[in-house]
Copies of this chain bind each other. A is one copy, B any other.
């Protein structure tokens, strides 16, 4: 790791923590798969950008954060929200456009936010979250709150101007921000090898005088360890870090994308390193966790989603006058 100063050795996650990661990843997986099922069954009309396959990044990075730390997310934000503690009931209700949703049904999948949880929002504009995270970091710095801001973004987003401006600004102002690239190898239908004129997104860190780190995004332990170091670095006032997590999305860009730009073999090769399977192996091997216990966790998460679905279904559509509320705090 190329951090400027050596940090304390990153703590090995405890059994308890590992089980929490498993739970977090299983919740995200269950949420996404439930969403797919509901759409497929016609119970829910719409689409969304699923993060199935990438759960370890959300769980590992958010596992390294305090509750009041900030996160900015992307169009592919369900996992980040859940890992940051946003209520699945409210999230599901949001996807149903119900008034009990995180955004009263006015935001939808690409705009789920919960400021009470430090979740500053999914974002439909590629790259937009990175400067916003700088602002949250600036607040943290000026108010000496000790908080850190994490900005998730994709490999495709590494080619947009706001990436450049945000990373430079964070470095110039020495902000407590960790930029987490989820390199899932594609921006829509475009392979990262084509769009990114560099071998790794993390290679760009030197252009901003900040550490650039690569983690195995399928291994939540590696993600956690490197995120933890990066977060500690930022929290200690040593400036921003760029952390690239190598991962993969199993579904297409959005639900409905047939993903004809990649081979079945490629998908298979990544699925064989599924984050839940890898962690389950580790838990069995090093922590004597039995298959039963893991099945139990996954079943619990399914039950959690049953509840979320019931909650969402039972909730009301927003009243029509909600069309023009929340536009302003005050409009004289």
Q: Which stretch in A9-17, A141-149, A196-204, A227-235 binds the other chain? A: A196-204
Which of B172, B196, B208 meets A194, CB within 8 Å?
Answer: B172
With A159-B168, A161-B165, A165-B159 already in contact, the answer to whether A197 and B208 are too (CB < 8 A) is: yes
How far apart are the CA atoms of A162 and B204 in the complex, in Å? 16
Chain B contacts for A209, CB-based, 8 A: 197-199
Within 8 A of B (CB), among A70-116: none
Within 8 A of B (CB), among A160-175: 160-165, 167-168, 171-172
- Least Cβ distance of A15 to chain B in Å? 41
Chain B contacts for A125, CB-based, 8 A: none
How far apart are the CA atoms of A209 and B164 in the complex, in Å? 16
Q: Is A195 an interface residue when CB atoms closer than 8 A count as contact? A: yes
By size class, the interface of chain A is 20 to 34
Nearest CB in chain B to that of A163: its residue: B164
Interface string of A124-162 (1 = CB under 8 A from B): 000000000000000000000000000000000001111
- Least Cβ distance of A36 to chain B in Å? 33
- Least Cβ distance of A204 to chain B in Å? 4
How far apart are the CA atoms of A222 and B116 in the complex, in Å? 58
With A159-B168, A168-B159 already in contact, the answer to whether A207 and B210 are too (CB < 8 A) is: no
Nearest CB in chain B to that of A201: its residue: B207
A206 pairs with B208, CB closer than 8 A: no
How far apart are the CA atoms of A196 and B209 in the complex, in Å? 9
How far apart are the CA atoms of A94 and B151 in the complex, in Å? 47
Nearest CB in chain B to that of A197: its residue: B171
How far apart are the CA atoms of A204 and B210 in the complex, in Å? 13
Which of B172, B197, B206, B210 meets A210, CB within 8 Å?
Answer: B197
Chain B contacts for A163, CB-based, 8 A: 164
Chain B contacts for A167, CB-based, 8 A: 197
How far apart are the CA atoms of A160 and B164 in the complex, in Å? 7
Chain B contacts for A198, CB-based, 8 A: 206-209
How far apart are the CA atoms of A127 and B204 in the complex, in Å? 20
How far apart are the CA atoms of A208 and B164 in the complex, in Å? 12
A172 pairs with B197, CB closer than 8 A: yes
How far apart are the CA atoms of A210 and B209 in the complex, in Å? 18
- Least Cβ distance of A132 to chain B in Å? 15
Interface string of A173-208 (1 = CB under 8 A from B): 000000000000000000000111111000110111
How far apart are the CA atoms of A165 and B172 in the complex, in Å? 20
Q: 17 pairs across A/B with beta carbons < 8 Å?
A: A159-B168, A160-B161, A160-B164, A161-B161, A161-B164, A164-B165, A168-B195, A168-B197, A171-B197, A172-B194, A172-B197, A197-B208, A197-B209, A198-B206, A198-B207, A198-B209, A206-B207
Q: Which 3 A-B pairs give the minimum distances between C-beta atoms?
A: A161-B161, A164-B164, A171-B197
State the A residues within 8 Å of B (CB).
159-165, 167-168, 171-172, 194-199, 203-204, 206-210
